[in-house]
Amino acid sequence: MDCSVLQMHPSCPGGVKGEAQGWNPRCSDHTLVFLCEFRPSPGSPPAADVDHAAGTQSSPVFGRSGPEFVEVTVPAQCSIQQLRLRLCLKAQEQSCHPNLLGLLDPEQYLLLYTRGQEWYEMYDDCQVLRTLDVPWSRHADGRLAATIAVTPVAAADDGERQRQQALLATLIGHDLDREATNRLGELMVTRRKLASPRRQELKLRDDVVYATEPWTTTAPLPRDLQPHGDRSLKITLHYLQKLSFSMEVNPSITPQLLLELCNKVTADQGLECWPSDSLVLKVTGREEFLSGDFRLLDFLWVRKCLKSSRDLHLSVLSVTQLPQEAVLLADWPLVDSFTGQSSSHDDLRLEGKDLDDIFMISLWDCDRKFRFKLTGIDIPKLPAKAPPSVYVEASIIYGNKVLLSVASTTKSFADEVLWNEWLEFSVLLSDLPRGAKLGLTVNAGSNETASDHPQKGKGGTLFFVNLLLIDHRSLLSQGPYNLHMWPYLGQEGEVVTYQADRLSSATNPDVTHSMAISLLLDRYSFPVVLPNGATSPESRWPPAEARPPPASPLCGTVSPVFRPGSAGLERVQTSEEITPSGSPLSLESRTGEPTISGDFPDNFLPRLPVSPETPPDAEEINRTSNLHRSTASLTSFCPSSTSDAASRITTTTAPGCTIYTAPVSTSSTATVSTSSTTPGSTSSPASSQHSVRTPQSPTADLPGVAANAPTASIGSDKAHLKRFGKEQSVHYTANLPTFLRSVDWLKRNVVEDVHWLLEHLEPEVLDLSVALELLSFDSIDESVRRLVVQRLESLSNDEVLLYLLQLVQTLKVEPYHDSFLACFLLQRALRSKRIGHFFFWYMRSEVAACPYFRQRMALVLEAYLLGCGQAMLDGFSLQVQAAQALQQVALQVKEMFPDKTDLPPTAALQVQGLLERSDLPKEFLVPFDPRVKAGAILLKSCKVMASKKKPLWLEFQPMPSPSPPPPLGILFKEGDDLRQDMLVLQTLVVMDSIWQEKSLDLNLVPYGCIATGHNIGMIEIVRKAVTIAAVQRSEGGTHGAFKNDAIFNWLRGKCPLQEIHFRAMDMFVTSCAGYCVATYVLGIGDRHNDNIMITNQGNLFHIDFGHILGNRKSFLGVRRERVPFVLTPDFLYVIGGVKGRDSLCIQRFKDICTEAYLSLHSQSRLLVTLFSLMLLTGIPELSAAEDMRYLREALQQERSEEHARDHFLQQIATCENLGWTVQANWWIHMLVGIK
């Protein structure tokens, strides 16, 4: 139905007129009764309404009279605003409320209901009443009924709220209250909706477990630590600051057993013993605990002590000594869980309704093309290099894809340009997907004279802005808009990457100086909403609380196109599918054409239990048929070994139904052949054989199934059948990202079929790399992202922390602030202090660095801070205070010493004076490692470095410990974007985790590094380490770059004992191998000898990752680096031993390198995906999809393992042959200081 007939009509008075005329519902479930109770404040639910023991609400007592109660009857498809209007009229009729007009204003009176022990507000005025999550009951006449409370908005404690908001604004780095003007705007609605997952997580959180979360690993012991698994572990325990003693224990015992052993020792000493469950183990001198059901060898600190031969000291504390984790901040009230969601299309459709019965319009009823009127642009001041003419390009953007584009005519550029022309797209309004944006760009016209003809040649983009066509409440955007645009700075901009910016629907907050564009969208007499589905499933309406028992136990629970069998879902063939002659029948889609080209293998479709009594539905049959023949885009992306796989379906129905067999061909039409079954037969795995004929068919592993016999029996073992289904699902879901990229999201019937498929996929069949890839800006569909988040739910805290940097970035992909991913990250951050700490800093740096997503990041961060607990808030406050104080010092230092490199002799003293006068806290947790606490600053050790950015070298007093650790060193940098360094270091951690799973420890040093704001951050100083340049200078001045034995001799001087020297040599070999592989894969450039360091124990590591993905430095137009990675003759001398290039030692090094490289090669998809998700950061050398080419080539992603091995051995040979060129570069670097 074309809803254009409803355009520009006078607004309908709604259901009030209908009720006055005696509105007659079609059935009792289409009429709702609300018993409205006027209360001065919500308080606690009354005893008559809530059963506190059961936590449920009892049936309301209707028919009450009196000044406190009003009974209101409304149609189920009315909105909350219509309910308010009817309530006002009823209250006027009964003269029971002093402020009738106030009842219409949600800013004055709230509509609340209770569920369990919580109050929920009916917040969104446009929400359909039948979508409310109210505890429904039955009225005496059979109608659905509920009790709600009508209460005035309580006056908040302005002083307390202002103090709380000031604290949050300081921690976040942005004040959200300055933007929260519209009650139903996305900011306020999301604020209210995020309160629900926060409270849900806090109810389940154990404060002791939360406070003592350990740092553990599931990786097997590295090869060098495996002998320790059979030895006793010596531990020194400090018991409640009363007693210290040492003991040797089995390294496989748990912390709980260790505490019990400790209690036995203290009992022998005559001390009071505490129950072991009231004690915790804490690493002495660190904010790190040993807790949970883990072996001692599984704790990272224990492994680190064993590796470095360090004594293990543990403190025994009472749980009462733990920091206070209570949540003291006031929270937002809860809102209805379906806030922002609309009703079904059947409820909203216009057919068969009188005008008085229409409250909203379904978007799917709007069969007209999308258009808008471009009014003009206005800018206070023209840019310095303004083009002579401009035109506006309008695009429908979905994710990062421009689906359709139209352009205006060209006009002469001035401070005000008027068009007043309609721009129309070829897409129908009914086909617009949720999350689609109208992208508007102002572009420079061609050099030709401005004309009224449409623009032909495209110039550069000057300004851009996006508008969500369907907002956060599922409403179609209507009417006039005046949008302030962002200037497009191109690749030269500091904080801009076009790929990320095109995803943002934020407008420029600088309304005074920014370009504004005015447009007019079509207007309608009613809100136009995107339905939440075609129909209202019987399982949703009437609500379960009020629904009578079904006649059949399986009635109305599942899709009617399938019937149950012993193996799960069995496809049913209807009489319409069987021709009289029994010949094969070609199934077509609803439109007569396949909705998506290709063939789905039969085992790709899910199997769910369904009702045998439910008759088949033609639409569902067509959808299944379409999906079966719609996998060409999936199977065509499979490896060549499986691209020609044929599939066969043999399906058996319930008794009396038909069996059919459907071989899946490569044509666009699915051919169905039929056969019959005897009465009384039953479904079994044997009669529902699924086989994919590939060179290595998974069916070959199943009992009784021959690989080349597709009709053979699978057998009755359900476990084998389940394994078979999962193997096939994993095989095809590996190509799901590519398949989804080929979907036409502007065809609603196609999207519906894709949603059906996604809803029936099991999340666990998704490989993690595939799930992360689906989080990219290629897949913004809500069903896709729901599936991914369901997969992410199974990740451990360690895994979430490992990929947290990318997960935070993918929040930018979400079209709306409230998303499944935002709720997931919020809950996992509230569940784990480790995740929460880094979540805070990752989000805070994005708030400062990315204005396009500032509101979203600040909003989610605020939701976290409201539930993280008082101890975390106190810790964050001290860390932010330290970061801000150091930033002020760094800025002052830059003003004092503007020269790039030269510093006066008194520079250190002047910096120390600034630090002494700064507002540094006495102690604070280090942002890049919350296990370490920095004490008082050691002023005499602090200085400023002689480089362009003037970083500050800072040293702090460490926390007290039995074995005094060295001072804590921090390099504070202002003016550098550390997010690229963070990415490289995080990737090193991922690589190390891949190697650790194979018991391969390559001694990487992923030192701490974190951005604390825009171009501000901290870097950990690795102790007892020097640069290779310093080593070479100590062994021969600038000519030390050519001394092959320089590093070897230096190590021998640091490790005079033979055993220690051999250990240092082995550490050099493994660490050199690890960094050779890592730096090659990541394409790290600018590898001079001041960017490579070595510890006294021989551990080699790289620093300063300013150039990645093959970007190399050049000097005077000549490329300085000619080798794929650094493997110089002096490195080879250490690897080969005293005799030089000893063949056995070099071969061992090559074996380590190839093993490490092939481990990364096998995980190349994961590594490429992690980098591709960082395209949204604005990192200069990682801003376009083309930047991924180097990584794919370096990992040999599309090549075999044997080819990858040969490839890396060739790189080693190149380094051996051209090592002299590196030495020459290093000599020049030391001679003239080129950096």
953 has pLDDT over 90: yes
Structure-model confidence comparison of residues 1235 and 1106, the more confident one: 1106
Given a contact cutoff of 8 angstroms between Cβ atoms, the answer to whether 544 and 356 are in contact is no
Quote the tokens at residue 1067. Answer: 């550490």
Distance CA 989, CA 924 (A): 25
**37-51, 550-564, 1113-1127: lowest mean pLDDT where?**
550-564
> 500 pLDDT band (50/70/90 cuts)?
low
Yes or no: domain 167-210+795-868 corresponds to CATH 2.40.110.10: no
Mean pLDDT of all residues in 1148-1152: 95
Yes or no: say if 893 and 926 are a contact pair by the CB < 8 Å rule.
no
Q: How confident is the model at residue 1066 (pLDDT cuts 50, 70, 90)?
A: very high
Please list, residue by residue across 49-72, b when 16 or more beta carbons sit within 10 angstroms of its beta carbon and e when fewer do: bbeeeeeebebbebeeeeeebbbb
Provide, for the chain, the percentages of residues in helix, strand and coil under a 3-state DSSP scheme, each rounded to the nearest 5: 40, 20, 45
CATH ID of 4-155, from 3.40.50.150, 3.20.20.150, 3.40.50.720, 3.10.20.90: 3.10.20.90
For the chain, the average pLDDT equals: 80
- DSSP annotation string for 803-851: THHHHHHGGGT-SSSS-HHHHHHHHHHHH-HHHHHHHHHHHHHHHHH-G
Looking at the chain, the whole-number percentage of residues with pLDDT higher than 70 is: 76
Name the fold adopted by 1024-1232: 1.10.1070
CB 394 within 8 A of CB 402: no
The confidence score (pLDDT) of residue 347 equals 82
Mean of the pLDDT values across residues 709-716? 37
Alpha-carbon gap, residue 1013 to 858, rounded angstroms: 13
3-state secondary structure of 753: helix
Residue 728 has pLDDT above 90, yes or no: no
Ordered by start, the domain boundaries in the chain are 4-155, 167-210+795-868, 213-321, 347-529, 562-789, 1024-1232
Alpha-carbon separation of residue 304 from 117, 296, 960, 1024 (angstroms) = 48, 12, 19, 16
Least confident of 21-30, 1098-1107, 1127-1136: 21-30
* pLDDT at 760 > cutoff 70: yes
Mean pLDDT for the stretch of residues 985-1007: 96
DSSP letter at 617? -
* 130-139, 254-263, 499-508, 1121-1130, range with the lowest pLDDT: 499-508
The whole-number average pLDDT for the span 833-853 is: 96
Once rounded to an integer, what is the mean pLDDT over residues 1009-1026?
A: 95
Q: Which helix (H) or strand (E) holds 915?
A: helix 907-917
**Facing residues of 517 across strands?**
377, 483
**How far apart (Å, rounded) are the C-alpha atoms in residues 635 and 637?**
5
Q: Which option is the CATH number for 347-529: 1.10.443.10, 3.30.1510.10, 2.60.40.150, 3.30.1360.30?
A: 2.60.40.150
Q: In whole angstroms, give the CA distance from residue 628 to residue 596.
A: 10
Cα→Cα distances 654→241, 572, 760, Å: 72, 9, 21
Provide the CA 60 distance to its chain's centre, in angstroms.
43
Q: How confident is the model at residue 637, as a pLDDT? A: 42
Choice among 58-62, 384-388, 589-593, 1078-1082 with the minimum mean pLDDT: 589-593
Which tokens in the block code for residue 227? 């002998």
Supply angle C-alpha 857, 862, 865, rounded to 5: 125
pLDDT band for 358, please (50, 70, 90 cuts): confident
Do residues 582 and 615 touch, judged by C-beta distance below 8 A?
A: no
Among 16-30, 86-100, 982-996, which stretch is predicted with the lowest mean pLDDT? 16-30
**For residue 236, what pLDDT band results from cuts at 50, 70 and 90?**
very high
- pLDDT at residue 941 above 80? yes
Q: Is the dihedral of CA 59, 63, 65, 69 positive or negative?
A: positive
pLDDT at residue 532 in the model: 86
pLDDT band for position 200 (cuts 50, 70, 90)? very high
CB atoms within 10 A of CB 231: 11
> Per DSSP, what are the bridge partners of residue 369?
428
What type of residue is 619? E
DSSP 624-657: HHHHHT--HHHHTTS-TTTTT-EEEEEE--STT-
Q: What is the mean pLDDT of residues 620-633?
A: 46
Decide which of 371 and 573 is more confident.
Answer: 371
Which stretches of 93-135 are assigned E, i.e. beta strand?
A: 109-115, 118-121
Phi and psi at 889, nearest 5°, equal -65, -45
Find, among 99, 100, 103, 67, the residue nearest to 84 by Cα. Answer: 103
Radius of gyration over alpha carbons of the chain, in Å? 34
The strand pair at 369-378 and 416-428 is best described as antiparallel
pLDDT digits (tens, 9 = 90+) for 288-320: 999 999 999 999 999 999 998 889 999 999 999
Is residue 1119 pLDDT above 70, yes or no? no
Question: Phi and psi at residue 35, in whole multiples of 5°?
Answer: -90, 105
Contact between 500 and 1176 (Cβ < 8 Å): yes
Neighbouring C-beta atoms of residue 524, cutoff 10 Å: 19
- pLDDT for the residue 159: 81
Range among 63-72, 401-410, 1174-1183 rated most confident: 401-410
User: Is the entire prediction scored with pTM above 0.75?
Assistant: yes
Q: How many CB atoms lie within 10 A of CB 192?
A: 21
CATH number of 213-321: 3.10.20.90
586 versus 441: which is more confidently predicted?
Answer: 441
Q: What pLDDT shows up at residue 32?
A: 92
Token reading at 607: 């199997």
Which is more confident, 336 or 899?
336
Q: What is the pLDDT of residue 258?
A: 96
Of 808, 773, 777, residue with least CA distance to 791: 773
Task: Report whether pLDDT(754) > 90.
Answer: yes
Residues 2-36: tens digit of each pLDDT: 444 344 433 333 333 333 333 333 344 678 999 99
DSSP code for 490:
G
Tally the residues of the chain: 1235
Q: Please check the confidence at residue 811 and state whether its pLDDT lies above 50.
A: yes
Amino acid at 921: P
Q: How far apart are the first and last CA of the chain?
A: 69
Burial of 480 (0-12, 13-18, 19+ CB in 10 A): exposed
1226-1233: Cβ within 8 A, 24+ apart: 1226/1028, 1226/1029, 1226/1032, 1226/1041, 1226/1088, 1226/1089, 1226/1128, 1227/1038, 1227/1039, 1227/1041, 1227/1042, 1229/1029, 1229/1088, 1229/1089, 1229/1090, 1230/1029, 1230/1032, 1230/1033, 1230/1038, 1230/1041, 1230/1089, 1231/1038
Whole-angstrom distance, CA of residue 747 vs CA of residue 596 = 10
What is the C-alpha to C-alpha distance for residues 236 and 313, in angstroms, rounded to an integer? 5
517-546 per-position pLDDT tens digit: 999 999 999 999 999 887 654 444 555 555
Mean pLDDT calculated for residue range 1149-1168: 97
pLDDT in the model for residue 1141? 54
- The answer to whether the 213-321 and 347-529 domains have the same CATH topology is no
Residue identified by tokens 């009916």 is 122
The pLDDT, as a whole number, for residue 676 is: 37
Q: Is the model's pLDDT at 677 over the cut of 90?
A: no
